[in-house]
Chain A
Amino acid sequence: MPENRRPLSPHLQVYRPQITSILSITHRATGVTLAFAALLLAYWLASAAYGPDAFARAQDVMESWFGRLVLFGFTFSLFYHMCNGIRHLGWDMLWGFELPTLRITGMIVVVTSMALTVLSWLMAYGHVGKL
């Protein structure tokens, strides 16, 4: 496209990874991941509408070690996207753009989302009585 010679911003490959850029691309990656989680939610609800057999099959798939691994990933993606989303809403209200603040809120997002993920799974295992 010869008519399109506008300057480009630095590409991901030539940009030194920093906490700001890593957290930013992780927000996008977890967002795309959560779109797949939404598909699983639709499948799960639809299986229940189909009847006990279909629901049991869906439950079996999700209770397998692979199913639980995927669900664990979805849980982290949800909490990360949620915590970093709150960070985004702060920026929308012009809060938190200073570099030190960015680093601190970024670390809070990482630690909080990991803690909430582990806490949720501990509570779920506790509920089943396997803890």
Chain B
Amino acid sequence: MINTPQQKRSLQSKLGRVRGLGSTREGVHHWWAQRMSAVALLPLSLWFVYSLINLAGSDYTAFQAWAGEFGNSVFLVLLVVTMFHHAQLGLQVVIEDYVHSEIWKMGMLLFVKYGAVLFAASAIFAVLKISLAG
């Protein structure tokens, strides 16, 4: 990195060049957030699959009663938040791995990250509406 002719000519010190470019202890943040959300998703998704099995064949009233129950509403909101957070972290890595054009990469990252927030917000508001209306 410091061997390009331009950098050899620079009078800036080696320390000055790397300052502000390094991870400053934030380098593992993405990795850590992915693991933390993964661990939380283990019980949340098992609970969700189990709930879906018991909801099979239910009509609107039965669904409303289930989703409106306090504990179920809380778990649904937690599931939505954690799932979309984990999904956008993972999709970010996939995009960064395969999309090499800078403008496309930036565009797709914006699309995925804003999309995750949009859909998560809609889903959370839906749960609140069902829960508070009941």
Do residues B42 and A124 form an inter-chain contact, with CB atoms below 8 A?
A: no
Q: Which residues of B contact A123 (CB under 8 A)?
A: 53
Q: Mark B53-94, 1 if CB is under 8 A from A, else 0.
A: 110110010011001000000001000100110010011001
Total count of chain B residues near the partner, CB < 8 A: 34
For residue B119, CB closer than 8 A to chain A, the reply is yes
- Tell yes or no: A61 within 8 A of B by CB: no
Q: Which of B53, B63, B76 contacts A124 (CB 8 A)?
A: B53
Instruction: List A residues 41-98 near B (Cβ within 8 Å).
Output: 41-42, 45-46, 48-49, 52, 55-56, 75, 78, 82, 85-86, 88-89, 92
> Per a CB cutoff under 8 Å, which of B52, B90, B122 touches A46?
B122
Min C-beta distance of B28 to chain A, whole Å: 11
Chain A contacts for B45, CB-based, 8 A: 78, 82
Other-chain contact of B123, A3, A28, A41 (Cβ < 8 Å): A41
Q: B60 and A124: CB pair below 8 A? A: no
- Give CA–CA (A49, B73) in the complex, Å: 13
A48 touches B87 (CB 8 A): no
The reply on A39 being an interface residue by CB < 8 A is yes
Residue A38 lies at the interface, judged by CB distance under 8 Å to chain B = yes
- Quick one: which of A96-131 are within 8 Å of B by CB? 120, 123-125, 127-129
Q: What string of 1s and 0s marks CB contacts (under 8 Å) between A1-35 and chain B?
A: 00100000000000000000000000010011011
Q: Which residues of A contact B64 (CB under 8 A)?
A: 48
Find chain A residues with CB under 8 A from B91 CB.
Answer: 31-32, 35
Q: A45-B126, A128-B56 are in contact. Are A75 and B120 (CB under 8 A)?
A: no
B126 with A46: CB separation less than 8 A: yes
Extra pairs beyond A48-B130, A78-B49 (14, CB < 8 Å)? A42-B122, A42-B123, A45-B67, A45-B123, A45-B126, A46-B123, A48-B60, A48-B126, A49-B125, A49-B127, A75-B49, A78-B45, A88-B38, A89-B38
